[in-house]
Amino acid sequence: MKQPLPRWADLVLLPVVCLAVALLAAGAVVALVGQSPPQVLAALVHGAFGSARGLSYTLYYSTSFIFTGLAVAVAFHAGLFNIGGEGQATLGGLGVALVALAWAPLLPSWAMLPLMLVAGAVFGMVWAAIPAYLQAYRGSHVVITTIMFNFLASTLLVYLLVNHMRPPGNMAIESLPFAPSAQLPSAQAVLATFGVEWPSSPLNLSVLLALLCCVAVYVFLWHTRAGYGLRAVGASPDAAAYAGIRPQGKVMLAMAISGALAGLVGMNEVAGVSGKLVLEFVSGAGFTGIAVALMGRNHPLGIVCASLLFGALFQGGAEVAFDVPGFSRDMVVMLQGFVVLFSGAMTYVIAPPLAWVLRACGLSGVPHG
Amino acid sequence: MLAVQMRGICKRFGPVAANADVDLSVQAGTVHGIVGENGAGKSTLMSVLYGFYPADSGDVAVFGQPAQIHNADDAIALGIGMVHQHFMLVDTLSALDNIVLGAEPHWLLRRATAQARARLEPLMHSTGLHVPLDTLVADLAVGDRQRLEILKALYRGARILILDEPTAVLTPQETLQLFAVLRQLRAQGTTVILITHKLKEVMALCDRVTVMRAGRVVQDMPIAQASIETLAQAMVGRKVQLGPRADAPSTVPHADAPPALRARGLGVCDALGVWRMQQVDVDLFPGEIVGVAGVAGNGQSELLEVLCGLRAPAQGSLELAGQRFTPDHWLDPLRARALGLAHVPEDRQARALVMEFAAWESGVLGYAHRAPYSHGPWMRKAAMQAGTAALMERFDVRPRNVRLKSSKFSGGNQQKLVLARELGQAPSVLLVGQPTRGVDIGAIEFIYAQLRALRDAGGAVLLVSSELDEILALCDRVLVMYQGRITGALAIADCSQTRLGILMAGGAA
């Protein structure tokens, strides 16, 4: 028997309760290893939000999570589970780097940066389009193929870097640094032009790009005909076919957009931070995106919030590992694991008791159909 | 002796009282009918009895003993068996395996089935429930599956049998067989509780009947004191006029008018190479309702899917609005709509509505690309909401809330929304599948009136229905489908329940 939660509780209260339960569980483990949970939590929050530098790092991590979270969400609305964000982001970075290496010495940055952006999106898009085609027209399940494409992307990057892109005589497995015109301005540089002093950090202009993508995804899904059709296919393929919407086309479209969004991680990591192509620059953002989308209920606004949370966990966690003696990096991973577990998988376990509590408090004004 | 006594049963879902202080007493060894509109609380009451959910308050006694029924296992232990409207069978197992499943008398499967078979043979003999035990369920006819479900319940020791809409999927002849079995069971002392919409069946079979409306019992009387009219009135709360025909058959002469739709030699072959439909010819003239009668699964669904463009046939041709279509170049649903063909699919929850969508999003399904609903690539939300609100107003869809999720409407209101959407386009051809399946009697009346209004305005309607009463009440001509072919084409004046029933079962008229 399903007792629905009121909408406000479903969207706001439930995630907060889930997060609180996750923190309690993590706190219990922290206490078990002999640390003080309040001290660790304080260090975490302070590390993530307590200083301009900390905040910058938090936002920098969040940026990649927004891209990959949106990628998962768009596919999800079409009824597809895109696990391939990691690989699509890798290819996106490759696209950004290839364009930067080829043309950056010749073109100014106002031409370079849009070109790199397009290249990143197109590379991610193409990498997602292959599994999408196999799903739409050949029936291979997209979950399986996108996972495999993650491995392919990873080995492709290693191969290209080791054999073709590494400058001769260089021991480090990375490309040449990009020319200055291919460097996405950092937050520090941008704010300096407005006379604001800001500490040096990896935070760069792509955070604005990420927010722009949130708006674009929202408009696309809920205000365009294509988005309407895409959601119809996701919610009920039979009804979509009845309405004259071709599911194959929508599968291709959803995965293409999804791949393009994931590919933009390359703008943040490659063009914004490292300024050259390195190995493993995605570092799990593709997978974190799944948790982000899950927690953000596949809505852009929710994804921004969830990305901030995960960004804070990454940044604050690193600070905790640094500040609190005896608190290793692994403990931070454990904490992230609890958050994913409780806000993703355990939502449906926590919702019924919460509904019960709300009813008992007389707060459950559910309009019934 | 009372087999079941339920007293003061209350069950609320949120602010809705599904059962409000319901009393039900069923005498042992009788057939007891429970009738009521959708949402009247019949299913809730039976779910409480079968342990699907607990009542908020009230007592249940079974054979005089107070009973606490928390789940289906408790119910089975007390001798209560239930046959659901949608069969709970595993298609890939044999009939015997299905009976044994979950109640194996021995841990070795071979011994278990042998013991079960030994018990089942006399049971089948004494009750008349003959089922080929070694056949896969997938290969069984619908009537056999239902007998299997009943046999399964009896095998588990059911002395009280709850049947939920048992005749929805049966031919008239199979229905008669079922009734014979139920009478036999009654004679042997089994108590039967029959949940149904069909008042005729109640009159034919039951000893006593309980009428529910809006969660309450409004009438409870021996069948001798009941009549179809009084029961219908008690169910709906007012007088109902469904049929026989309230109007004369259409008198539009078709001979000289061209057909609105002409299909020739349609054939559909499934992935296994089986012909699901073969050599089907259909002509639809403006101003007539043509019924397609048949037991579900005899090719009617394929016919609808082909005509509306959801699938291309393997052979045949179609002429619609002056255009000709062949299998290599078949129409698609968008094209069909553009040519003035509207379609109310058989399965509204899977096809006609997106259950996750708000009413206004489902209310434009299939027409979202048209003005005024869209402008270039943009959706015009305000126009969509206003359009849906107007449809809801015209077809009295309740509640009138365009933002409510489609799944939150009752079956009858979902169907009204779909009909409103399709009829709202003033189509020249309307395909309708099972328009009143699971719809309550008040809404049926309304839906019939709307279909007749479209016919009278010159629309051509193809009505696929497994309800003979519906065919007889609405149609001007009737086609009967059996095993994928049209086995009879009759004018309405030549139709009778028996004649159609025989044709539907594959006999010669």
Give this complex's ipTM: 0.82
Q: Which helix (H) or strand (E) holds B19?
A: strand B16-27
Task: Clarify whether residues B110 and B145 are in a common domain.
Answer: yes
- Residues in chain A, total: 369
Task: Clarify whether residues A12 and A161 are in a common domain.
Answer: no
Identify the domain boundary among B212, B236, B260: B236
CA atoms within 13 A on the CB side of B265: 7
Q: Distance between CA B89 and CA B246 in Å, rounded? A: 41
In contact, A185 and A206? CB cutoff 8 Å: no
Is the pLDDT confidence value at A366 over 70?
no
Task: Clarify whether residues A197 and A114 are in a common domain.
Answer: yes
Task: Clarify whether residues B32 and B154 are in a common domain.
Answer: yes
- What pLDDT is stored for residue A218 in this prediction? 96
How far B399 CA sits from the closest chain A CA (Å)?
A: 7
Task: Evaluate whether residue A40 is within a structural domain.
Answer: no
The mean pLDDT value for B314-343 works out to: 93
- What pLDDT is stored for residue B247 in this prediction? 53
Q: Distance between CA A60 and CA A200 in Å, rounded? A: 12
Short-list A15, A14, A8, A2, CA closest to A363: A8
Q: Tell me the pLDDT of chain A averaged across its residues.
A: 90
- What pLDDT is stored for residue B255 in this prediction? 54
Q: Which residues of A touch B351 (CB under 8 A)?
A: 236, 238-239, 241-242
Cβ-nearest to A235 among B356, B378, B399: B356
Task: Clarify whether residues B42 and B64 are in a common domain.
Answer: yes
Q: Distance between CA A29 and CA A35 in Å, rounded? A: 9
Task: Clarify whether residues B433 and B421 are in a common domain.
Answer: no
Q: Distance between CA B218 and CA B90 in Å, rounded? A: 39
Q: Which residues contact A202 (CB under 8 A, 6 or more apart)?
A: A56, A57, A60, A186, A272, A273
Task: Clarify whether residues A4 and A23 are in a common domain.
Answer: yes
Q: What's the one-letter identity of residue A285?
A: A
- What pLDDT is stored for residue A1 in this prediction? 38
Higher confidence at residue B507 or residue B370?
Answer: B370
How many CB atoms are located within 10 Å of the residue B106 CB?
Answer: 13
Asked if B312 reaches chain A (Cβ–Cβ under 8 Å), the answer is no
Question: Tokens for B220?
Answer: 């409870």
Compute the CA torsion angle A217, A223, A226, A228 (nearest 10 deg).
100
Is the pLDDT confidence value at B265 over 60?
yes
- Taking CB atoms and an 8 Å limit, are B405 and A364 in contact across chains? no
Pairing assessment for the beta strands B191-196 and B31-36 based on DSSP bridges: parallel
Confidence of residue A364 (pLDDT cuts 50, 70, 90): low
Task: Clarify whether residues A139 and A176 are in a common domain.
Answer: yes
- What pLDDT is stored for residue A245 in this prediction? 92
Is the pLDDT confidence value at B244 over 70?
no
Task: Evaluate whether residue A50 is within a structural domain.
Answer: no
CA atoms within 13 A on the CB side of B350: 4
The angle at the Cα of A318, spanning A316 to A322, to the nearest 5 degrees, equals: 110
- What pLDDT is stored for residue B410 in this prediction? 79
Write the pLDDT tens digit of every residue in A205-232: 999 999 999 999 999 999 999 999 999 9
Question: Tokens for B46?
Answer: 């039976």
The mean pLDDT value for B352-363 works out to: 93
Tell me which residues of chain B, numbers 98 to 137, contact chain A at a CB-CB cutoff of 8 Å. none
**Alpha-carbon separation of residue B134 from A131, B93, B96, B113, B139 (angstroms):** 43, 9, 6, 11, 10
The mean pLDDT value for A338-348 works out to: 80
Task: Clarify whether residues A280 and A238 are in a common domain.
Answer: yes
Higher confidence at residue B414 or residue B199?
Answer: B414
Is the pLDDT confidence value at B497 over 80?
no
Task: Evaluate whether residue A54 is within a structural domain.
Answer: no
Q: Distance between CA B254 and CA A28 in Å, rounded? A: 82
Is the pLDDT confidence value at B23 over 90?
yes
Is the pLDDT confidence value at A14 over 70?
yes
Cβ-nearest to B345 among A235, A242, A369: A242
Number of structural domains (chain B) is: 3
**Alpha-carbon separation of residue B163 from A46, B50, B71, B202 (angstroms):** 64, 12, 18, 12
Q: Distance between CA A86 and CA A262 in Å, rounded? A: 8
- What pLDDT is stored for residue B242 in this prediction? 57
- Taking CB atoms and an 8 Å limit, are B332 and A244 in contact across chains? yes
- Burial of residue A172, with CB atoms counted within 10 A of its CB: 0-12 exposed, 13-18 middle, 19 or more buried: exposed
Task: Clarify whether residues B56 and B29 are in a common domain.
Answer: yes
Per-position b or e across B233-257, b if 16+ CB within 10 A of its CB: bbbbeeeeebeeeeeeebeeebeee
DSSP one-letter string for A240-268: HHHTT--HHHHHHHHHHHHHHHHHTHHII
**Alpha-carbon separation of residue B460 from A181, A249, B304, B419, B478 (angstroms):** 68, 33, 14, 15, 14
Task: Clarify whether residues A351 and A304 are in a common domain.
Answer: no
- Taking CB atoms and an 8 Å limit, are B361 and A228 in contact across chains? yes
- Taking CB atoms and an 8 Å limit, are A239 and B15 in contact across chains? no
Task: Evaluate whether residue A366 is within a structural domain.
Answer: no
Task: Clarify whether residues B359 and B384 are in a common domain.
Answer: yes
Task: Evaluate whether residue A99 is within a structural domain.
Answer: yes
The angle at the Cα of B11, spanning B5 to B14, to the nearest 5 degrees, equals: 175
Task: Clarify whether residues B419 and B441 are in a common domain.
Answer: no
Asked if B370 reaches chain A (Cβ–Cβ under 8 Å), the answer is no
Confidence of residue A2 (pLDDT cuts 50, 70, 90): very low
Task: Evaluate whether residue B217 is within a structural domain.
Answer: yes
The mean pLDDT value for B284-307 works out to: 89
Q: Which residues contact A54 (CB under 8 A, 6 or more apart)?
A: A46, A47, A48, A315, A316, A319
Short-list A182, A189, A218, CA closest to A66: A218
Q: Which residues contact A328 (CB under 8 A, 6 or more apart)?
A: A321
Least confident of A356-365, B221-230, B313-322, B475-484: A356-365
Identify the domain boundary among B426, B453, B477: B426
Q: Tell me the pLDDT of chain B averaged across its residues.
A: 87
In contact, A311 and A58? CB cutoff 8 Å: yes
Which domain, by its residues, includes B257?
Answer: 241-340+427-509
* Torsion region of B375: left, alpha or beta (phi above 0 gives left; psi -120 to 50 gives alpha): beta
Which domain, by its residues, includes A233?
Answer: 62-325
Interface test with A, best of B354, B398, B407 (most A CBs within 10 A): B354
Task: Clarify whether residues A320 and A332 are in a common domain.
Answer: no
Per-position b or e across A186-219, b if 16+ CB within 10 A of its CB: bbbebeeeeeeebeebbbbbbbebbeebbeebbe
Task: Clarify whether residues B273 and B303 are in a common domain.
Answer: yes
Is the pLDDT confidence value at B251 over 80?
no
Q: Which residues of B touch A236 (CB under 8 A)?
A: 350-351, 353-356
Cβ-nearest to A236 among B308, B343, B350: B350
Q: Which residues of A touch B345 (CB under 8 A)?
A: 242
Task: Clarify whether residues A192 and A247 are in a common domain.
Answer: yes
Q: Across-strand partners of B261?
A: B284, B320
Confidence of residue B329 (pLDDT cuts 50, 70, 90): very high
Task: Clarify whether residues A140 and A187 are in a common domain.
Answer: yes
Write the pLDDT tens digit of every residue in B92-132: 999 999 999 888 888 888 999 999 999 999 999 988 888 99
Short-list B292, B307, B290, CA closest to B252: B290
Is the pLDDT confidence value at B417 over 80?
yes
Q: Distance between CA B52 and CA A273 in Å, rounded? A: 58
- What pLDDT is stored for residue B233 in this prediction? 80
Number of structural domains (chain A) is: 2
Task: Evaluate whether residue B388 is within a structural domain.
Answer: yes
Task: Clarify whether residues B381 and B449 are in a common domain.
Answer: no
- Taking CB atoms and an 8 Å limit, are B379 and A227 in contact across chains? yes
3-class DSSP assignment, residue A228: helix
Identify the domain boundary among B426, B451, B477: B426
Task: Clarify whether residues A211 and A353 are in a common domain.
Answer: no
Task: Evaluate whether residue B348 is within a structural domain.
Answer: no
Task: Evaluate whether residue A248 is within a structural domain.
Answer: yes
Task: Evaluate whether residue A46 is within a structural domain.
Answer: no
Task: Evaluate whether residue B105 is within a structural domain.
Answer: yes
Is the pLDDT confidence value at B83 over 70?
yes
Higher confidence at residue B505 or residue A41?
Answer: A41
CATH number (domain holding residue B438): 3.40.50.300
Pairing assessment for the beta strands B477-482 and B288-293 based on DSSP bridges: parallel
Q: What's the one-letter identity of residue A201?
A: S
Question: Tokens for B444?
Answer: 């049926």
Compute the CA torsion angle A97, A99, A103, A104 (nearest 10 deg).
-40
Report the predicted TM-score, pTM, of the whole model to 2 decimal places: 0.79
Q: Distance between CA B464 and CA A238 in Å, rounded? A: 19
Asked if B404 reaches chain A (Cβ–Cβ under 8 Å), the answer is yes
Interface test with B, best of A1, A3, A5, A225 (most B CBs within 10 A): A225
Task: Clarify whether residues A78 and A215 are in a common domain.
Answer: yes
- What pLDDT is stored for residue B341 in this prediction? 95
Confidence of residue B14 (pLDDT cuts 50, 70, 90): low
Helices (H), B252-318: 300-308
Task: Clarify whether residues A156 and A229 are in a common domain.
Answer: yes
- Taking CB atoms and an 8 Å limit, are B333 and A364 in contact across chains? no
Task: Clarify whether residues B433 and B414 are in a common domain.
Answer: no
How far A199 CA sits from the closest chain B CA (Å)?
A: 43
The angle at the Cα of B441, spanning B202 to B215, to the nearest 5 degrees, equals: 80
The mean pLDDT value for A173-182 works out to: 91
Task: Evaluate whether residue A45 is within a structural domain.
Answer: no
- What pLDDT is stored for residue A367 in this prediction? 41
- What pLDDT is stored for residue A312 in this prediction? 92
Write the pLDDT tens digit of every residue in B436-459: 877 777 788 889 999 999 999 999
Size of interface A-B (CB pairs under 8 A): 86
Task: Clarify whether residues B222 and B161 are in a common domain.
Answer: yes
Is the pLDDT confidence value at B470 over 70?
yes
Write the pLDDT tens digit of every residue in A42-95: 998 999 999 999 999 999 999 999 999 999 999 999 999 999 999 999 999 999
Q: Percentage of chain B surpassing pLDDT 90?
A: 51
Question: Tokens for A20?
Answer: 């609180």
Q: Which residues contact B504 (CB under 8 A, 6 or more apart)?
A: B171, B172, B293, B294, B295, B298, B480, B482
Cβ-nearest to B379 among A223, A240, A366: A223
Short-list A15, A16, A19, A17, CA closest to A313: A19
Task: Clarify whether residues B229 and B247 are in a common domain.
Answer: no
3-class DSSP assignment, residue B210: strand
